[in-house]
Amino acid sequence: MNKKGLFITFEGVEGSGKTTQINLLSSYFKEQGKDVTVTLEPGGSSLGKTLRKMLLNKNQVFHNLKTELLLFYADRCEHISEIIEPALQKNHVVICDRYIDSSYAYQAGGRQLKKLWINNLNSMIEKTPDLTFLLDLPVEIGLKRAEKRANLDRFEKESLQFHNRVRNGFLEISKTNSRIKIINANNKHPQEISIEIQQYLKELDI
Ligand SMILES: Nc1ncnc2c1ncn2[C@@H]1O[C@H](COP(=O)(O)OP(=O)(O)OP(=O)(O)O)[C@@H](O)[C@H]1O
Ligand SMILES: [Mg+2]
């Protein structure tokens, strides 16, 4: 197989430190002389920027939660074709902030939609990450960090129960998926977490 690039995703509840860790890991790879593409969902593609505004706008109303689910997948399809696949073809390390596991955690876990629907939508998604880091911590701690930002988005404003279902959703899919590495992101300095991630990559010969 002529496999190119490396596709890493970061997952976790609000404020779990994804953006912080992605920036640290990106610097680590760049220091090794690797080309890195950092991207995110929703909103990594050109069309995705508009979709992101809709999906995160706290005043946006969806009369049917399947609409929300489908918009996330529309965003993902564009993102793969416009950004992820071309970067992998150029042999880049692609680091993506949220991906398919967030759909399970938020739409099946949080929103309590059928997991089967997400499985079906995933059958259209041709890119599976090589590796996923799940930054895990109690949702109250993540939300407290996120609250420091000025405006909470449509998801951040959800109840504690919602966010706990999201966290449990992430933990559940991790059990049956060896691609996902759970990292305890509580009570640790960002550098300490980054070193743990780098050590895990070294163990995998990456
Ligand atoms: N290990 C850590 N310990 C304490 N604070 C942290 C740690 N990592 C990140 N933070 C801080 O917590 C806040 C949220 O971090 P960050 O934005 O990286 O999380 P996130 O998972 O990307 O959040 P979101 O889901 O909202 O995008 C930031 O202010 C960041 O500086
Ligand atoms: Mg972030």
Q: Answer yes or no: is the C-beta of 17 below 6 A from any ligand 1 atom.
A: yes
Q: Please give the distance, rounded to the nearest whole angstrom, from the Cα atom of residue 39 to the centre of ligand 2.
A: 11
Read off the pLDDT of residues 9-51 as tens digits, 9 standing for 90 and up.
999 999 999 999 999 999 999 999 999 999 999 999 999 999 9
Domain membership flag for residue 128: yes
Q: Could you tell me the CATH number of the domain that includes residue 173?
A: 3.40.50.300
* Residue 1 within a domain: no
Q: Is residue 42 one of the residues assigned to a domain?
A: yes
Quick check: is 77 in a domain?
Answer: yes
Tell me, yes or no, whether 93 lies in a domain.
yes
| Per-residue buried b or exposed e for 3-31, using 16+ beta carbons within 10 Å of the residue's own CB | eebbbbbbbbbbbbbbebbbebbbebbee
Could you report the per-residue pLDDT of 76-120, keeping only the tens digit for each? 999 999 999 999 999 999 999 999 999 999 999 999 999 999 999
pLDDT of residue 148: 85
Predicted local confidence at residue 100, as pLDDT: 98
Range of the domain at 174: 6-203
The first and second tokens of residue 61, run together, are: 């109303």
E strand map for 50-187: 93-97, 131-136, 180-184
Whole-angstrom distance, CA of residue 110 vs CA of residue 172: 13
Tell which one of 14, 26, 143, 145 to mutate to probe ligand 1, the residue whose CB is within 8 A of the most ligand atoms. Answer: 145
- Does 56 contact ligand 1 (Cβ within 6 A)? no
Mean pLDDT for the chain overall: 96
d(CA 23, ligand 1 centre) in Å: 11
Is 121 part of any domain?
yes
- Give nearest CA residue, ligand 1 atom 13: 145
Asked if residue 18 has its Cβ within 6 Å of ligand 1, the reply is: yes
Is 99 contained in some domain? yes
Residue 117's φ and ψ, nearest 5 degrees, are -65, -40
CA atoms of 74 and 78, how far apart (whole Å): 6
Ligand 1 pocket residue status of 145, Cβ below 6 Å: yes
- As to burial, measured by CB atoms within 10 angstroms (0-12 exposed, 13-18 middle, 19+ buried), residue 62 is middle
First to last CA, the chain: 18
Residue 80 C-alpha to ligand 1 middle, in angstroms? 26
Q: Of the bound ligands, which one is closest to the alpha carbon of residue 23? A: 1
**Domain count of the fold of the chain:** 1
Residue 5 region, left (φ>0) first, then alpha (ψ -120 to 50), else beta?
left
Ligand nearest to the CA of 15: 1
- Determine, yes or no, domain membership for 33: yes
